[in-house]
Structure 1
Amino acid sequence: MHRLFALLLIVATALPAWGQDPPRAGLMWNRSGLPATLPLVVQTMPGRDYVVFLAPPQGGDPVMAGFIQGGTFFRLLVPPGTWAVRFAHGRDWQGEDELFGPATEWIGLDQPLTFEAGVARRQGHLIRLMESDGQVEVASQGPLDICQGLTVTTEIDRRDESDEDREALNLLPALGLQDLRDDFDTFPRSDFNRLPAPGLRRIETELDTRSRVCPLD
């Protein structure tokens, strides 16, 4: 019995790790210390999943990773800077350390990508990955610029002055005046120390920020 248990244990440890439940599509982690505000869009084909890594172009550990479900729309906000972009891909997810196990394959872009933001434009990138004869390759890569427009709407509501309004609302304290006639009943304190204010106005301002893909130049 003990020999059978030992044999089963040896066989179990010798078998390769089987697939785990993959993470949700989107950001896995951001270790750059920078805010992620610039768009990276990746289009893939179904059949395998991907992990995209961003790293400094001069070398070093990745600063960001995102999980991509093959064949689904993927959009990731990345920090500003110039980054080397690489993809790991496979079919059986085995965790962040093993990725897709021994069958993990890699593909990277030849040149690093620059992500930056201006006053009215955010510069991102669109990458298309295609599979041909069992091999994944970069089909296309290009800029994806997002234009931002700010619309300001202002409404002014002016209230007409009337005797009743002036008496009830528009009598405001006049700065610098003091009641010097405390001994006289002829000049009530409220009338002496208050001056009519102009008609009331209410100003309402709405700010509307809208983003759209910039037209090609």
Structure 2
Amino acid sequence: MTHEKPEPPERPDPGATTQTVETDAGTARVTWHRAPRARAVLAVSHGAGGGIEARDLRALAAVLPAHGLTVALVEQPWRVAGKKVAPAPKTLDVGWRGLWPALAAEGLPVISGGRSAGARVACRTAAELGAAAVLALSFPLHPPGKPERSRAPELLGAGVPTLVVQGAKDPFGRPEEFPEGTYDLVEVPYGDHGFAVPKRAGITQEAALELITDRVVQWAGSLV
């Protein structure tokens, strides 16, 4: 199980709308940031220790709608219920499957995404749900210090076009540790598991987030 440091509360987006969805794992919640002329939906969920206030998810929701991508920030049932510990991967998959009809109801291609544990969910379920692609943010390739416990088969088995965005200093898997595959990989210089960069790094926090959003826009635009 992966954990993240909590982010500070985000300021509500006045244009966002919230939808609750009943799943076999409990009540989930989707916060929609709709594009004026959407070509696709990017649905992204949080990790095992944080919520949709994560800096990368906030940045995607703020930037992508202007580029024709509706962003759906998904809160898994355990998070909506106020629990502090995520359930087993199988239960996370159940929640994601239950959410999918609501995500696909827009009638647009859906890119399945998530950060950390949410990225694993997206990879495991993409093919069966008919996802157009997978966006894996901070994919937890292995537990910190335990490279022998690789989760590479989940990533390699996604079965659809996949973009991995990984911090150069991510203890759950640095970019150079990832095996060869058909996916694309973007490295965020100096970034940790939450894409935080040190104040004295050769890149600012704002530039790191801009790198992420720019590459996701470019990649998604090549797909839809």
TM, length-normalised to structure 1: 0.23
More strand by share: 1
More helix by share: 2
Structure ID, larger Rg: 1
* TM-score (normalised: structure 2): 0.23
